[in-house]
Structure 1
Amino acid sequence: MFAMGLVGGIFGIIAAIVAMLIGGVDAAFSESGTSQITGLAVSALLFSILGIIGSAFSKSKPKLAGWLMLISGIAGFISISMFYILSGVLLIVAGFMGIFSKKKNKEIPPVQAA
């Protein structure tokens, strides 16, 4: 779960940077000089960082990590669509792994009287 979230977040950052480049080219050739793609790429970048933060919590709080990665995967895919397909799949699968994981409680063995 940690590795999938981390790789998904890193690929998401790369996809967001590529989308920013395309948004910059779109802004350069448009009449208004702006592009919505750039803003959506920034939001995808923030969601990718959220996915990496979620993967960092995968050992200590797997449920929280799962929700963070699931939200990151879905929102990033909504932001920049097909640029985020690889990252979205990795983050969504890792998110479901975290949500449905069963954390094992380490029980302390009883102290025996001597």
Structure 2
Amino acid sequence: MSRTTEFVLGLLGGIFGFFGAFFALFVGGIDAAFNEAGTSELTGLGFGGIIFSILGIIGSVRVKSKPKQGGIIMLIAAIGGLISISLAFLLSFILLLIAGLMGVFRKDKSVGQ
């Protein structure tokens, strides 16, 4: 059975996650510029968002051959990204969550029926 829906949703979630992570890095850079210590906690969380976005794309590619494994990877990426950069990852969270749940719970149709 084709898992195109899960693939497209996961891929879009990963791509939008990159935008959210780069936004978090941008805000973290501005925060570091105006902070006395010259550092920002948000930049580290932005890099975490990039890692979870990559993980979401890997899960979306993996869902074609092994749906449950790809779905679990996308669910981990969705939850980790939301914890990491919260509101900047919200759209990606929704897309990756839907794709991950579809990958895990959607049943394949039997050929003989």
Length-normalised TM-score, structure 1: 0.89
In the TM superposition, 1:39-58 aligns within 5 A as 39-58=44-63
- Contact 1:2/1:58, CA 8 A, preserved across alignment: yes
- Secondary structure at the counterpart of residue 9 of structure 1: helix
Structure 1 residue 93, shift from structure 2 partner = 0.7
Query: What is residue 112 of structure 1 aligned with on the other side?
Result: none
The structure carrying a bigger helix percent of its residues is 2
AA partner of residue 46 (structure 2): A
- Secondary structure at the counterpart of residue 76 of structure 1: helix
2:85 to 80, 84, 98: 80
1:67 has 2:61 as partner: no
Query: Unmatched 5+ residue regions in structure 1?
Result: 108-114
AA partner of residue 14 (structure 1): F
AA partner of residue 54 (structure 1): G
Deviations 1:47-88 (A, max 9, x none): 000000000011100000100000000110000110110000
Q: Cα distance 1:102–1:59, how it changes in 2: closer, same or farther (>3 A)?
A: same
Superposed structure 1 runs of 4+ greater than 4 Å apart: 104-107
Length-normalised TM-score, structure 2: 0.90
- Give the % identical residues: 54
Structure 1 residue 106, shift from structure 2 partner = 6.3
How many residue pairs were aligned? Answer: 107
Distance 2:110 2:72 in 1: 20
Query: Unmatched 5+ residue regions in structure 2?
Result: 1-5
- Contact 1:62/1:103, CA 8 A, preserved across alignment: no
AA partner of residue 67 (structure 2): P
Which is higher, the Rg of structure 1 or of structure 2? Answer: 1
